[in-house]
Amino acid sequence: MNRSFKRSIFLFTFFIGFVFLISAEAIGQRIRVRGGDPTMTITTGIAGGQLQDVINTDCSLRYTTPRNPNRRWKITVGTICLGQSFYLSVVATNATRGTEEPEVSLSDGSPAVDLVTSIPRNSNNARCTLQYTASAVFAQGNSNDVGNDVHTVTYTLQLE
């Protein structure tokens, strides 16, 4: 075999191996939100009082972490909601892998905040329930009068 052909075979094999390694790593870390897009309606409260919280637990997260690197992982959460009128928070409950952090207030433009931490490597099909809470004071109005807040909530699985 000539030298050029051997070099081409080596580069091709290297490239295929590299693509395989990248694919295997990408498959090893997954996060999925289940339950669809929750809808929560803020109703009219008593003047001078706090509106009653609206709670939704219909959504959950499923997450998988790779074996390597040998480090712990975390899930962060953030939101984008232009013209946000009402308070919205989320907390992870019943996490099968990792430590649930305290309730996170979701405010437009705020940096992502830890939701679940200390997730061990090689956590396969771990899950947690997402509990969303929406509320407002009387002066903020209600969903019918003010309109809806539309949040784009982002969950990210990353190294601690």
Instruction: Evaluate whether the domain defined by 29-159 bears CATH number 2.60.40.
Output: yes
What is the per-residue pLDDT for 50? 67
Identify the three-state secondary structure at position 149.
Answer: coil
Cα–Cα distances in Å, from 19 out to 8, 9, 13, 22? Answer: 16, 15, 10, 5
CA-based nearest residue to 132, from 88, 99, 101, 100:
88
What ranges do the domains of the chain cover? 29-159
Record the pTM: 0.77
**160 residues of the chain, pLDDT tens digit each:** 555 544 444 434 434 443 333 334 444 569 999 998 888 887 766 777 666 789 999 999 999 998 888 899 999 999 999 999 889 999 999 999 999 999 999 999 899 999 999 999 989 999 999 999 998 877 777 788 888 889 999 999 999 9
What is the per-residue pLDDT for 156? 94
